Structure 1
């Protein structure tokens, strides 16, 4: 049976909570009659965005505005009413974080369709949860949209040495070929070696000056340890800021034993899994 197209009247009955979930937003607290979210329109730590379950309306206390589900979709996606209706009519959430957990880390079929400055509210909210200010993230990363099996997705992307991308959002971690490490060169004599995107962003928050006076290598995968060693002879000192897990400890031991100018710098966050875990702990303290 052919599916009927949704119109404005029927669209207004579409549950706002479901629409927000499709866009990667989930309630901070709920009751029988209402749900409270972090605002999808800005970065915040206290939920000020209320959804009335009984009336199916939303109200943003931070901005003093509200409306129905069509108003919400139009504003979040910056689209027309017609485009919002098309979005709500889809069988599956084509812009959702939720879909992305259903396929594995093999990137066959991934096609990057758009690269831009980070501005999607769901990504900004994700950065905030990880303790990363948007201006810091914009220095090193972009908002990357891509298609996979006829659906569209959006992530925070860090470009690697070979032009591929490391892709992250709240529940999804992947990479787009060609896969490689990330190398940020500023002709400094000091090199910092990190494991992943959020290690880079976290160190930029914790010690921005250190980043500025150093070149940076982000492994993106422990598999690239051997590949990055070719650059080590270009530096007077190399600092390792790797994870406190078995893989991180093994790499640290291997590199510090092999090179006299390679130093383990992980004592600064020794009681934490990694730099981002340390940063989030510091923010709570």
Structure 2
């Protein structure tokens, strides 16, 4: 069955809270019908940006303006409506606003062909470049062959909880539908939350004993913070290893303020963008 291309009507139903999370903005306070954020348009210390959960509309009391989710994405990203629709299409392929691509629907379809243990020399070389031993990668990931833009590719793949795949090789960063987080459960009372597959693989190299005694949550997108919150209360200890960028730091602050048993572990790689950047630096030292 062919995937329906997202249009304005479907995009307007995309929850504003989730769009803001995808952009690195998290609520200061929430209620059943509304949430309050610091304005994404300016610096402020009191939350004046209101999101109605029932109407899925936003209103910035600081400047007296509001609108729908498409208006919001266009304004924050300074992009066109077409680019905003692509951003809001969670089931679509990864999109970069730094290098806009204009592709037809046929070009954006991604079909999985086969899944196997990682053996391809090019993928092994890519893992070596990122400091990941083959046996570690094969413990969590697979070699995935797929078609994209009418061509055949292969990549390292991490499966998510809806059987979609995050796909990485030296050239491309892709994913297929449905896109969501990956939850690796070992029935422990400790949860580790990471952003992406290479954060998981890097931590497995840096601290294998910790990985082996913990449940793991790989977000696959910072936007899924909202989706995984329901799991946090299931654990006694939750450790965050999110990226040291604006979105990662905002997500970390949001979760550590909201939950007393959530701990920020980014200090261990504070001078690096993420765990893999830290691992690669350590290998060179």
Please name the residue that 2:128 is paired with.
Answer: 128
Q: CA deviation at 1:241?
A: 0.3
The 3-state SS of whatever aligns with 1:225 is: helix
Q: CA deviation at 1:237?
A: 0.6
Please name the residue that 1:218 is paired with.
Answer: 218
CA distance in 1, matches of 2:145, 2:246: 33
CA distance in 2, matches of 1:125, 1:212: 26
Q: Relative contact order: is structure 1 or structure 2 higher (C-alpha 8 Å, sep ≥ 6)?
A: 2
* Residues 28-70 of structure 1, C-alpha deviations (whole Å, 9 max, x = no match): xxxxxxxxxxxxxxxxxxxxxxxxxxxxxxxxxxxxxxxxxxx
Please name the residue that 1:240 is paired with.
Answer: 240
Change (3 A) 1:282 1:169: same
Please name the residue that 1:267 is paired with.
Answer: 267
CA distance in 1, matches of 2:202, 2:196: 10
Change (3 A) 1:201 1:183: same
CA distance in 2, matches of 1:264, 1:104: 39
* Residues 231-281 of structure 1, C-alpha deviations (whole Å, 9 max, x = no match): 011100100001100001000000000000000011111111110000001
Change (3 A) 1:237 1:123: same
Q: CA deviation at 1:104?
A: 7.7
Please name the residue that 2:50 is paired with.
Answer: none
Unaligned residue ranges in structure 1 (runs of 5+): 1-100
Please name the residue that 1:160 is paired with.
Answer: 160
Matched, 1:171 2:176: no
Please name the residue that 2:282 is paired with.
Answer: 282
Q: CA deviation at 1:151?
A: 1.5
Q: CA deviation at 1:149?
A: 3.6
Aligned pairs for 1:87-126 (under 5 A) are 108-126=108-126
How does the TM-score come out when normalised to structure 1? 0.63
The 3-state SS of whatever aligns with 1:177 is: coil
How does the TM-score come out when normalised to structure 2? 0.63
Q: CA deviation at 1:159?
A: 0.1
Matched, 1:186 2:186: yes
Please name the residue that 1:202 is paired with.
Answer: 202
> How well do the aligned residues superpose, as a CA RMSD in angstroms?
1.8
CA distance in 1, matches of 2:123, 2:204: 18
Unaligned residue ranges in structure 2 (runs of 5+): 1-98
Please name the residue that 1:88 is paired with.
Answer: none
Q: Which has the greater radius of gyration?
A: 1
